Amino acid sequence: MTTSVVVKNATKRFTMSNQNTVRRLAINAIKGLPLSKSFTALDDISLTLEQGDSIGLLGLNGSGKSTLLKLISGVMTPDGGSVLTRGRIAGLIEVGAGLHPDLSGRENVYLNGAILGMSETEIDRKFDSIIAFSELEKFLDTEVRHYSSGMFMRLAFAVAVHTECDIFLIDEVLAVGDQPFRKKCMRRIRELKQEGRTMVYVSHSPAQVLSLCERGLVLEAGRMVFQGTAEEAVKAIGYTVDDESDDD
């Protein structure tokens, strides 16, 4: 087994300086008021994943799940502790961000693919598979601005699930699209997992966490309150498993 992700005592603080005009700064300095407020989004989190592990991150809104995911993806750097990863990272995180409304579907596949780290030959090779997945064959040369929101997400998803990677991150994205498409996404994610990718999955849905992940981690106000199997984690946070699974 090779280690895939090592998070060691990671801490992330956000500084909120609402007084960023020189005048406000001067007034606050004279009055002895704090110049900025800081808030600890993640406090001393440690986590080790082996290649092929899958872990669900559970927690209420604002508990730090997405911040932890951003540390692993490298978009943010920790203020304390360290984060180390092995191999290529990809994922379903705000998948629509790389699409440009003024470009056609075809151009967006290439642009978004390149943004997610694919090379030209890689995109060429996967182009047909991406389009088939998105079911947008007829709208390939239409500008994306004319797409419905469902079509938009389908295109973005199709590109994202085709990136070659060792670590795959998923952030609450499976609530979009109609049920057949959601099922298809879950199938694809399960395939990615079976191929041996490390998975980090942020979700509020206990059913999906249970069906996709072996392990679970519960965050509460930036602190890790539980780490163990997925079943125990769902119990620890007190969620009830209802019938919302998108499994076949």
Partner 1 sequence: MTTDVAQPETVAPLVNPGSSGGLLEVYRRRYLLKLLVQKELRVRYQGSPVGLLWSYIKPAVRFIMYFWVIGLLLKNNLPDRALHIFSGMIFVSFFTDAMTSGSKSIVKNKSLVRKINLPREMFPVASVMVTVYHLLPMYLILLGGCFLSGWHPDLLAGVAAVMGLAIVLLFGLGLALLLSAWNVYFRDVGNIVDVIQTVITWTVPMIYPFNLVMQKLAHAHTAIYEIYLSSPLCIGVLLNNRAFWTPASATPKATAHQNLPANLFERGAIMIVLGVLFLWFAQVTFARLEGRFAEKL
CB of 148 to partner 1, least distance (A): 20
Dig out the tokens for 189 from the structure. 């994610």
* CB-nearer residue toward partner 1: 82 or 149: 82
Sign of CA dihedral 65, 67, 68, 70: positive
- Collect all residues with Cβ–Cβ distance below 8 Å to 240 and sequence separation of at least 6: 206
CB 18 within 8 A of CB 198: no
- For residue 178, the minimal CB distance to partner 1 (Å) is 21
- Residue 74 or 228: which CB sits closer to partner 1? 74
Q: How far is CA 146 from CA 101, 102, 118, 135, 141, in A?
A: 8, 9, 26, 16, 11
Closest to partner 1 by CB, 162 or 206: 162
Nearer CB in complex with partner 1: 17/229: 17
Phi-psi region of 145 (alpha: psi -120 to 50; beta: other; left: phi over 0): alpha
Dihedral sign (CA 186, 191, 196, 197): negative
Q: Report the nearest approach of partner 1 to the CB of residue 243 (Å).
A: 29
Q: Using the minimum distance from each CB to partner 1, give the nearer residue, 129 or 229.
A: 129
Whole-angstrom distance, CA of residue 9 vs CA of residue 65: 15
Considering the complex, what minimum distance in angstroms separates the CB of residue 226 from partner 1? 25
Is the separation of the CB atoms in 155 and 111 below 8 Å? no
In whole angstroms, how close is the CB of 242 to partner 1 at the nearest point? 30
- List interacting residues with partner 1 (CB under 8 A): 2-3, 6, 14, 20, 70-77, 82-89, 93-94, 97-98, 100, 102-103, 107, 110-111, 114-117, 119-120, 125-126, 129, 133, 162, 164-166, 188, 191, 195-197
**Integer angstrom CA distances of residue 232 from 60, 213, 215, 221, 224:** 17, 12, 9, 19, 14
Closest distance to partner 1 from the beta carbon of 114 (Å): 4
Q: Between 11 and 235, name the residue whose CB sits nearer to partner 1.
A: 11
